[in-house]
Amino acid sequence: MADKIKVIVTGVLGKMGLETVKAVYPDEDLQLVGLVDIRGKGEKLSQLSQLKEIDLKVENDLDRVIEKTKPRVMIDFTNPQAVFNNTRTALKNKITCVVGTTGLNEVELRQLEKLAVDNKVGLAIIPNFAIGAVLMMKFAREAARYFPDVEIIELHHDQKMDAPSGTAIKTAELINESRTSRVPRNIREFEKIAGCRGGNIEQVRIHSVRLPGLVAHQEVIFGGSGQTLKIRHDSIDRAGFMPGVIMVVKKMIDHQGLVYGMENLL
């Protein structure tokens, strides 16, 4: 029987971190060996959460956890302030990284990609692990060939730090890859309140909603002469992201360099 893949999770006390632990722990191919969170003080996860069967300690020093556990994979669900340093540290230690945290800028992404290539390990930057969300992006890219007029509304819980979401940005990029013509801007339009028309990525408007009660939702609205087309995905429980997380971990073990977007691994 092949050795299990040793995994550490960073940002483990967040909602996505806890959900990831629940998915990794029972998987027959994976071995959960380390838990990292800036709020950790060495307490067992079983004392800090409802996951009473997991007695691993939650520590706040990533370097120490790496040295102690020698993992093959790090899964990061932290925040935009921590993700770059965490990923850089792991890649320098030749650890494959699966990153669900959004907020990395283009310069950081290129630096991390170079580190992954230099150290011959995989780096997966995944804006959305929900397979339905990936299909939504694929369908939007296809529709954009026929409907160049499009806007995106993304809706998330009120604790999400960055806006717009990584999924919305990725969707806009895919749409712009696909549509052959750019819609001329309505030069007579003006905003009575600054920002009310949303953000703008190459004439794809993105509107971000943040409210308690939401998880992760996105609607892509296309308009044409006498018709509209809406493509919508709703994540109603974070458990829906986990099959994607586990799949990406297992596929990235044999990959070198950067993969941006789960659609490249399906």
> Which position among 156, 207, 217, 233 bears the catalytic label?
156
User: Does the annotation count 156 as an active-site position?
Assistant: yes
* Rounded distance between C-alpha atoms, residue 133 and residue 125, angstroms: 15
How buried is 251 (Cβ within 10 angstroms: 0-12 exposed, 13-18 middle, 19+ buried)?
middle
CB atoms within 10 A of CB 110: 12
How buried is 42 (Cβ within 10 angstroms: 0-12 exposed, 13-18 middle, 19+ buried)?
exposed
* Rounded distance between C-alpha atoms, residue 22 and residue 51, angstroms: 8
* Rounded distance between C-alpha atoms, residue 227 and residue 101, angstroms: 36
> Which position among 6, 160, 251, 255 bears the catalytic label?
160
What tokens appear for 79 in the block? Answer: 């925040």
User: Does the annotation count 57 as an active-site position?
Assistant: no
* Rounded distance between C-alpha atoms, residue 232 and residue 201, angstroms: 19
CB atoms within 10 A of CB 198: 18
Task: Select from 145, 127, 9 the least CA-distant residue to 78.
Answer: 9
List, edge to edge, every strand of the sheet that includes 5-10.
58-59, 30-36, 5-10, 73-76, 96-99, 122-125, 257-260
Give 62-84 as a DSSP string. Answer: HHHHHHHH--SEEEE---TTTHH
Residues annotated catalytic, as ranges:
156, 160
